[in-house]
Amino acid sequence: MTEKVPGIEEAVEPPASSQTSGDVPHNMETEQMTPTEYYSIISRNGVGTTGKCIPLLVNLFKVAVNAPDTVFFQYSVTITLEDKRAVESKGIGRKVIDRLYQTYSSELGGKRFAYDGGRALYTVGPLPLNKYEFKVLLEETFTKCSSESPGANGGLREETKRSKHSFVSKTFIVEISFAAKIPLQYIAIALSVVESDANSQDALRVLDTVLRQRAANCGCLLVRQSFFHDDSRNFTDVGAGVTAVQGFHSSFRPTQRGLSLNMDMSTTMIIKPGPVIDFLLSNQQVKEPRYIDWAKAQKMLKNLRVQATHRHQEFKISGLSEKPCIQQLFSMKVKNDNGNNGGQTVDITVYEYFAKHCGIELTSSAYLPCLDVGKPKRPNYLPLELCSLVSLQRYTKVLSPMQRASLVEKSRQKPHDRIKILKNAVGNYCYDDDPVLAACGISIEKQLTLVEGRVLEAPKLKVGKNDDCFPHNGRWNFNKKTLLQPSHIEFWAVVNFSASCDTSYISRELIRCGMSKGINIERPYTLIEEEPQLRRSNPVARVERMFDLLTSKLNKEPKLILCVLPERKNCDIYGPWKKKCLGEFGVVTQCISPLKITDQYLTNVLLKINSKLGGINSLLAIEHSGHLPLIKDTPTMILGMDVSHSSLGRSDIPSIAAVVGSRHWPLISRYRASVRMQASKVEMIDALYKPLENGSDDGIIRELLLDFYESSNGRKPTQIIAFRDGVSESQFKQVLDIELNQIIKAYQHLGEVNVPKFTVIVAQKNHHTKLFLANGVENVPPGTVVDTTITHPRNYDFYMCAHAGMIGTSKPVHYHVLLDEIGFSADGLQNLIHSLSYVNQRSTTATSVVAPICYAHHAAAQMGQFLNFDDLSETSSSPASEGNIPIPELPRLHKNVRSSMFFC
């Protein structure tokens, strides 16, 4: 029997909004907006005390600064060739600066320095002069400029005969000029509890540059503050030609305890080194070269570096030849009687050239395209079998679900193993011996920091029949329990894109399991199987045909469509199907691809279905009774905000901004999402407030505010708690100045004069601080929180590990409170955040981050698949086209599902 919850109507199906944009509540018409004030990031106002105390270790190593009066001198560095062309490559820049030090050490007063690989160089104390200009001679083998390979103007370039052992000298002009003084004392100021000094970041940047330079000198791949050695023992194959390489992250951080070194294990993806042919076979998952899609291969290989194994020379790939090696012609000058290349020009194939002039009989790649390692108008061809991919080349695309699963499986690491590795790393890298750090009097302890944490009590939940549910170790289940507000599914359909699933059996089992959970599910009105001949069609055509079949069978709109997909992960039907159902048809849909039908699997599916249809699976007991502190008496809206970016290196794919807002106050477990597209890689959400030429607002916040008003019995939010995911510390002020400002403008645009009180919290998951039990080998228990010792010396932040870490080492979420006008106590805010990890309606485990952020992430990911960006031209991501790429409009949801929790 469906139960009633205080402050909410019976939830069976989310109704369509009864108000149009012109039919807004009283006093919510557009009025002149007053300028909004700018907010400052608040300082800590206390620490929490609730919970059971627990001793913890943290991967922060205490740093002693024995020469705090040290002053760094920053110098600007410009490196050019003799013809004044700028040198942009950081790799070449480091080699030039290394040679400069070797050559001109005495002119520089013997000063050791830290160089960032670009335009900045730092010394401890000043150089003898404020400005220098040096000529630096750098000898290089012909790795970039010559080869025994056929070029457009002849088989061998002029210097080929001596390329194997000869050296060419290049002259670089290096200008060094004084830029600024950076006292190390800035860090001491940051460590105090007085006002913030922004210059402290400059001093920390110098110290981090020293760490990067030390790694670069060892030949490591650098990825921000992480570094990776070229050591196959650290490599893990994750499939499709991608290798995970394990390395370390190291950075200096200010904490309440003082300056600390944050040392952690880090992983990045690289292209699997080795023969190019082997990589392509693995990447495209085919067994023979004849099955390779060469158009895809060209996109994948472009700009990668290869070594020509017959001459041990390195090149960058610019493309593929138009014809196979045995047919690809190029013009070669035949030597005259004097042995010079002044004779006639003849056409010769790449295959013939290598056979006659290099003595190499090509076997496996004669009928395959060649690699083009030349310039656009001057191609230079290399047979595939003679090319091997160089190691440590980053793979910057998003991993497939299968690759990610493989990575997790192969790289999991127990907490005690990680502690041992990190302690060894700090000792082995001997940072104390670095000349720049030694000149600062910096020494680093070799032991992890001991800190006291607290374990918060898990909140009690309410489920069906007014039963209490007590989570244990961050988990609970619905065994012998019913859902709090189950839906009734009387008219629904099943469609099957999979040839291997028995939909009759699935539907019977779903009905049976639903009955045990309190969900009354009638027999499906129709079961539709995909026509076998359509399985090789494109995904959009398959979806359209399925809908044609579906609509021909239905006599009214279904409440639910259960869709059986052929693949569990990465199915190309998923996006078009969701777009059709949610954007055009306006019906709730649940996609499944079961490997095995179990009660646990069916229960998880039913949790999603019930949430999407407007039901409630469980509530916090304190929420169910209407006694949430600071929320129960004051209409409060909770926002979760996230921006999802495309794979790295693609400027042609827009970013997706998603915001979810709570509804049905005083509940904090039900949400509605609003999603928009914005410019690629832009982190600040630009559509929170979006005024149109006609004076109306088409922004995200207006949509969520009106929904809150309609679902909360005509109450307007006077408090707003905003959770923001994915922003770095350097962007915190922008969250207040840009995003909060937009939210306020959207509120004022509705005619409101009194602006709500705001609490703004950033949740960071992409950090390198780990918590370990001081007296155990397991992960820290769920509910662990730390807000002393290792937190920021002044700002209001804390670490919370709300979830139970079952695999590897748990990572806590780093919460930063930027603003708190509502006035939560430290305990009150930490308990609210902890509780919000238990309200995710699609889960029976505590989530690592608060549910509103999880929902925003799911909404962005799901609607991001509405549009297919794979067909965008390769040239659209070139630098010349950046900034001119039109941003497509994301399809809006149908009014029937707009307020549903479709993202569950």
Query: 388-403 pLDDT, tens per residue?
Result: 999 999 998 888 888 8
Burial of 835 (0-12, 13-18, 19+ CB in 10 A): buried
Q: What is the pLDDT of residue 16?
A: 39
For 208, list phi and psi in degrees, rounded to 5.
Answer: -65, -30
Q: What is the pLDDT of residue 650?
A: 64
Q: For 371-376, what is the mean pLDDT?
A: 91
Neighbours of 628 (CB within 10 A): 19
Asked whether residue 881 carries a pLDDT value surpassing 70, the answer given is no
Asked whether residue 156 carries a pLDDT value surpassing 70, the answer given is no
pLDDT in tens, 326-344: 999 988 877 766 666 566 7
Q: For 355-359, what is the mean pLDDT?
A: 87
**Res. 83 pLDDT band, cuts 50 70 90:** confident
Q: How far is CA 136 from CA 43, 81, 128, 173, 378, in A?
A: 50, 10, 19, 6, 30
Mean pLDDT, the chain, whole residue set: 88
* Range of weakest confidence among 52-61, 124-133, 327-336, 456-465: 327-336
Q: What is the pLDDT of residue 311?
A: 82
Contact (CB, 8 A) for 737 and 724: no
Classify 35 as helix, strand or coil. coil
Asked whether residue 160 carries a pLDDT value surpassing 60, the answer given is no
Q: How far is CA 29 from CA 19, 566, 696, 746, 754, in A?
A: 13, 49, 9, 11, 14
Q: Which residue has the higher pLDDT, 541 or 84?
A: 541
Burial of 183 (0-12, 13-18, 19+ CB in 10 A): middle
Q: Which residue has the higher pLDDT, 881 or 446?
A: 446
pLDDT in tens, 672-682: 999 999 998 89
Spatial separation of the C-alpha atoms in residues 419 and 786, rounded to whole Å: 19
Asked whether residue 5 carries a pLDDT value surpassing 90, the answer given is no
pLDDT in tens, 240-280: 999 999 999 999 999 999 999 999 999 999 999 999 999 99
DSSP bridge partners of 227 = 222, 248
Q: Which of 415, 421, 411, 412 is nearest to 244 (CA)?
A: 411
Contact (CB, 8 A) for 802 and 847: yes
Burial of 529 (0-12, 13-18, 19+ CB in 10 A): middle
Amino acid found at 525: Y
Burial of 1 (0-12, 13-18, 19+ CB in 10 A): exposed
Classify 856 as helix, strand or coil. helix
**Res. 29 pLDDT band, cuts 50 70 90:** very low
Neighbours of 307 (CB within 10 A): 18
Bond preceding residue 666 cis, omega within 30 of 0? yes
Asked whether residue 140 carries a pLDDT value surpassing 90, the answer given is no
Asked whether residue 175 carries a pLDDT value surpassing 60, the answer given is yes
pLDDT in tens, 199-229: 788 999 999 999 999 999 889 999 999 999 9
Q: What is the pLDDT of residue 200?
A: 85
Asked whether residue 857 carries a pLDDT value surpassing 80, the answer given is yes
**Res. 143 pLDDT band, cuts 50 70 90:** very low
Neighbours of 16 (CB within 10 A): 12
